[in-house]
Homo-oligomer: A and B are copies of this chain.
Amino acid sequence: MQNFVFQNPVKLIMGKGMISSLKDEIPSDRRIMITFGGGSVKRNGVYDQVKDALKGHYTVEFWGIEPNPSVETLRKAVELGKKEKIDYLLAVGGGSVIDGTKLISAALLYDGDPWDLVLAGRRITETVPLATVLTLPATGSEMNNGAVISRTETKEKFAFYSNYPVFSILDPQVTYTLPPHQVACGISDTFVHVMEQYLTVTGQSRVMDRWAEGICQTLVEIAPKIRENQHDYDVMADFMMSATMGLNGFIALGVSQDWATHMIGHELTAIHGLTHGHTLAIVFPGTMNILRKSKGEKIIQMGERVFGITSGTPDERIDATIARTDEFFRSLGLTTRLSEEGIGESTIVEIERRFRERNVHFGENGDVDGVVAGKILRDRI
């Protein structure tokens, strides 16, 4: 086990009808800006529940935080927030809305351009309090201090760290009407979040291994049930719980982490606009295969505990585990090959170039540079 310091102060409020607790959680004298994505919250009743709960509070609405939130959009929210002297933010949406609102919460207290804060490369802790009502389980942003922000004009996409949400409200019922592709991407995103914190080497922490495997076992078990019926409360609660627990630090205690798949996936989103969770389903089996030497023992452990693969030579077990992982993503209705999305050599060359130029060394061993990223992507053509 590696030494670690852990603290996650988020108040998690989960269950049926819990959106109504907003009224007690946000002090009544706050000037709140509520941030939204598109209009789905108006169709599924979440918007009405939020507005009902906040009757009597001063609220301003900001609409239109897009998937892969862009600094171009967020600048407008910051401008409105400053004008309105906003001192509390409530993000109502999925990971993109929450991520974008994290940047707003820092930028409201900053005089320069919000993009400076993204480029600063350090955690920003001077922020306006932020709470969330989650509508799409996937990114775990509701219970962590990270965000990913894009800059459209330069097709860039970077991680940004600030404060944790004060509280997050999760009502599994809000997932009933999500588009199946978004649910599929949420499951894939969650699965790979867990893998980024798990698929390194064995023997670091038995408890963390079991917990990571436990989330993936859950996802494998519930995925077909969700495809069949998105209105089963307990199953959707398991999904929501998996996504939140998958990236709130609980499974990362004292273990090394990878994140190379995410870094490569971000580029596919930046260049081609693919949904984040979908890019991970394409890239991750390639990461497993190209890094099979350093990750081999852990792949075998994963194959045994998550997929029940117990026979064969080590190489056969690794191959079988990669195949089962690919099948799992395909069972969600996702494509898992670049060619299926019309992506080929020119994109790979561009990503190699970007990684070389930025001189990156991703992965738990720092060995995923442009060359290795190219190999991973070519493995997924």
Q: What is the interface of chain A, defined by CB distance below 8 A to chain B?
A: 1-18, 167, 172, 203-211, 213-215, 217-218, 221-222, 233-234, 237-238, 241-242, 245, 250, 253-254
Contact = CB atoms under 8 A, between A and B. Distances in A.
Contacts of A233: 1
B5 A207 contact: no
Contacts of A207: 214-215, 218, 238, 241-242, 245
A11 B7 contact: yes
Contact of A2 (B15, B209, B211, B213): B15
Nearest to A9: B9
Given A14-B254, A213-B214, A254-B14, A234 B203 contact: yes
B14 A3 contact: yes
Given A238-B205, A242-B207, A9 B12 contact: no
A179 to B, nearest CB: 23
- Give 4 closest A-B pairs by Cβ, nearest first: A3-B15, A210-B214, A1-B237, A7-B11
Nearest to A212: B214
A218 B241 CA distance: 22
Nearest to A15: B3
Contacts of A237: 1, 205, 254
Interface centre among A1, A14, A167, A241 (most CB of B within 10 A): A1
Contacts of A167: 7
A296 to B, nearest CB: 20
A2 B211 CA distance: 21
A86 B322 CA distance: 59
A1 to B, nearest CB: 4
Nearest to A251: B211
A241 B214 contact: no
A12 B5 contact: yes
Contacts of A253: 12, 14, 241
A115 B110 CA distance: 50
B4 A15 contact: yes
A178 to B, nearest CB: 18
